[in-house]
Amino acid sequence: MVEEKPKVAKLEKKKKVVNPVDASIDVASQEMIARATELGVETIFDRALSMKPCNIGIQGTCCKNCAMGPCRLPLPKGGIEGEDERKGLCGATANTIAARNFIRMIAGGASAHSDHGRCVAEVFMSAAKKETEAYKIKDEEKLLQVAGNLGVATTVEVDGEELDRDMDEIAVEVAEVALNEWGKPEGELLYLKRAPEARYEIWKKQGVLPRNIDREIVEIMHRTHMGVDQDYKNLIKQGTRAAIADGWGGSMLATDLQDILFGTPYPLQSEANLGVMKEDHVNIIVHGHEPVLSEMIIAVSQKQELIDYAKKKGAKGIQLSGICCTANEMLQRHGVPLCGTFLQQELAIITGACDAMVVDIQCVMQNLANVAKCFHTKLITTHPIAKMEQDNVIHIEFDEHHAIEDAERIVKMAIDNFENRGAEVMIPQHKAPIVAGFGLESTEYHLGGSFRGTYYTLNDNIINGRVRGVAGVVGCNNARTKHNLEHITICKELIKNDVLVLTTGCTAIACAMEGLLVPEAAAVHCGPGLAEVCETVGIPPILHLGSCVDNSRILLAATEVVKAGGLGNDISEWPVAGSAPEWMSEKAISIGHYFVVSGVYTVFGVTLPTSGAPVFHDYLTKDLEKIYGGMWDVEPDPIKHAHMMIAHIDKKRKDLGIDKARERVLMDMASRQALEA
């Protein structure tokens, strides 16, 4: 007889509960994380506790590009002594694997930005051809400027006389030339010539001028296929081409065409954080990236008949707000308040007051559907390339040819849902005032003044040392770090040290929530030099330049500084640095790389997926500087991170011979007056 084994009681694994104070520095978010725990709703913060990241993937040395693997090549605990003999089945080295993975991330990021740009270009074409009622050319001045950059004539000769060309004709040709940038058979991207001449020459010499946007991404997929490119230097060269095609191509076109269609941003006031939601209003949150959809939602929700309809249903009105980069797009052109960053998307639904969350593309978590199931929220996907499998998700496909009707249907659905709210509404009462909308043009106006209208005044203040340098601080939230801690610590440390900060994406939203995007922040947080400049000009010490595709605005601002004179001939020569403190997406890697190869020293927080391949890692963080004047760096500690950027800025000041000026400026008022005399 077989002896029966004693039954062992299964040990119930105790679920780890997230401590809100450990998860975020933001009080509104802490309150909603606590609320989620109280209601038993699982969020990304809980999963980050119970699921650890893969230790090999994080090093960048797991190859799953063929079915003989995945081949995993972790770095030995004590590092590599002697020759690195790690190999995959095919013989691929750790460097090859990490470089392949890295440039596939660039391909992912560049394709996301660029496909967004293509979609805008297609809508632009419809608007130019007047095939849609909903979209029109809004900024003709910008159209003419972009026409110039794309080589489209803006005048025409009639009987020996130079006349202005018809605007509609220009718009159609701009659309044609722009769309051609994605797949033209020969030549190079037209916008490359917008970079400083010295930069263009470096790219040309290195053989990395992108031919068209799509091709560079396709070529990455080919070169990283099993058995093709097996030289990390050659692989990263292709990554460089695709990244340039993103920053100086797809992203820049997205920004320009959006400005023409929806308006070029100028500074405006608004508010930020979950507290912008209103309990007695229909709350519609738009989340994602493409303003094509959100522009229509904004237009429609202002219609009197829909406001009246909302009132008929018992609400006082319609409150729109945004999450992620759609938020930045709606803010910079219309002043629509920011509801939150990437890590607050679930929390917005947990308020119980979100009547509809309307999403398009990128950075939309699939768990939104699970959270929405616990509340009355209608979760509406709108893009043909971005659907969700859960059955509570509604798909209303958005099409520019009947955009108004689609938007009306969505807004009406939200209004109808207002009466389905449960008793569980809890909106955290925290929000901060903000000033946003600093495009390239308005920054020029503010920093140069209406009199000069160039970046000269900024250059002047960099040269005299009041402004030590400029930093572009951008990027995501990452659930592996404390929400917003690194963003805020780094930005505060930079402005404290007289570094003017330009920001986009979720960093911009984080700074907004923290109250750093108002002119008054200068007196509280800045060093004396930057405070003086901000107070004189009336700008915040951190300028909100838009969404992540608008990082192209930072590239162009950096170029304007070069053009204004006195700070060298290339972006790599003047005191500027980049940072993505809490990055997580492939888009961030593409952005980081186009910053680097545009000549910017760029520091990432969290980690870089290259640490398992030390030779390749060193190539990115040391050798690239010799080629491009910019390089990667990584530092998770926010204070050290900021000081690495400041050290780079000081090095550039020294190279330019303007380090002494700053020492004098920081002496005292008497010596400054003596100097000026």
Cβ proximity to ligand BF8: between 232 and 594 the closer is 594
Which long-range contacts (C-beta less than 8 Å, at least 24 apart) are formed by 674-677?
none
Nearer to ligand BF8, 94 or 254 (CB): 254
Please report whether residue 105 would count as binding ligand BF8 according to CB under 6 A: no
CB distance 298 to 407 below 8 Å: no
* Residues in 296-325 that interact with ligand BF8 by CB under 6 A: 324-325
Per-residue burial over 574-600, b if 16 or more Cβ lie within 10 Å, else e, is: bbbbbbbbbbbbbbbbbbbbbbbbbbb
User: Minimum distance between the CB of residue 147 and ligand BF8, rounded to whole angstroms?
Assistant: 28
CA dihedral for 614, 620, 625, 630, sign (positive or negative): negative
Residue 294 tokens, joined:
């959100």
Give the burial class of 474: count Cβ atoms within 10 A of its Cβ; 0-12 exposed, 13-18 middle, 19 or more buried: buried
Among 363, 517, 556, 558, binds ligand BF8 (CB under 6 A): 363
CA distance 433 to 436: 10
Contact 344, 308 (CB under 8 A): no
In the numeric block, the tokens 């109808």 are attached to: 416
Whole-number minimum distance, CB 549 to ligand BF8, in Å?
Answer: 7
User: 113 or 653: whose CB is closer to ligand BF8?
Assistant: 113
Query: Binding residue for ligand BF8 (CB under 6 A) from 476, 490, 491, 518?
Result: 476
Q: Which of 475, 529, 541, 599 binds ligand BF8 (CB under 6 A)?
A: 475
Each residue 323-352 as x (binds ligand BF8 by CB under 6 A) or -, in order, gives: -xx----------------x----------
Burial class (CB within 10 angstroms; exposed 0-12, middle 13-18, buried 19+) of 205: exposed
- Is residue 15 within 8 A of residue 345, CB to CB? The reply is no
Residue among 188 and 329 whose Cβ is closer to ligand BF8: 329
Q: By CB under 6 A, is residue 152 in contact with ligand BF8?
A: no
In the complex with ligand BF8, the residue whose CB is nearer, 371 or 522, is 371
Among 75, 506, 526, 597, binds ligand BF8 (CB under 6 A): 506
Residue type, 463: I
Identify the residue whose tokens are 């060309």: 165
Q: Is residue 116 within a helix (H) or strand (E), and if so which, with residue range? A: helix 94-128
Q: How far is the CB of 588 from ligand BF8 (least distance, A)?
A: 6
Q: Which residues pair with 156 in a beta bridge?
A: 163
Give me the 545-574 binding string for ligand BF8, x by CB under 6 A, dash otherwise. --xx--------------------------
Nearer to ligand BF8, 177 or 347 (CB): 347
Binding to ligand BF8 by residue 544, rule CB under 6 A? no
Residue 589 within binding range of ligand BF8, rule CB under 6 A: no
Our finding on whether 261 is near ligand BF8 (CB under 6 A) is no
Q: Residues 226-245 vs ligand BF8: string with x where CB under 6 A?
A: --------------------
# chain residues binding ligand BF8, by CB under 6 A: 13
The DSSP-derived string for 232-280 is: HHHHHHHHHHHHHHIIIIIHHHHHHHHHHHH-----EEEEESGGGS-TT
- Residue 649 is a binding residue for ligand BF8 (CB under 6 A): no
Please, which residue, 44 or 539, has the CB nearer to ligand BF8? Answer: 44
Tell whether omega for the bond before 70 is within 30 degrees of 0, i.e. cis: yes
- Nearest-approach distance from CB 178 to ligand BF8, in angstroms: 21
Distance CA(373)–CA(350), nearest Å, equals 11
Among 587, 641, 648, 662, binds ligand BF8 (CB under 6 A): 587
Query: Which CB atom, from 461 or from 478, has the smaller least distance to ligand BF8?
Result: 478
Q: Are strands 601-604 and 282-287 parallel, antiparallel or unpaired?
A: unpaired
Binding mask 597-636 for ligand BF8 (x = CB under 6 A): ----------------------------------------
Which residues 6+ apart lie within 8 Å of 69 measured at CB?
62, 63, 88, 89
Nearer to ligand BF8, 86 or 587 (CB): 587
Q: Is 272 in the site for ligand BF8 (CB under 6 A)?
A: no
Q: What distance in Å separates the CA atoms of residue 221 and residue 476, rounded to the nearest whole number?
A: 25
Binding residue for ligand BF8, selected from 240, 585, 590, 610, defined by CB under 6 A: 585
The answer to whether 505 contacts ligand BF8 (rule: CB under 6 A) is: yes
Task: Give the integer Cα–Cα distance in Å for 101 and 60.
Answer: 7
Q: Which residues are near ligand BF8 by CB under 6 A?
A: 289, 324-325, 342, 363, 475-476, 505-506, 547-548, 585, 587
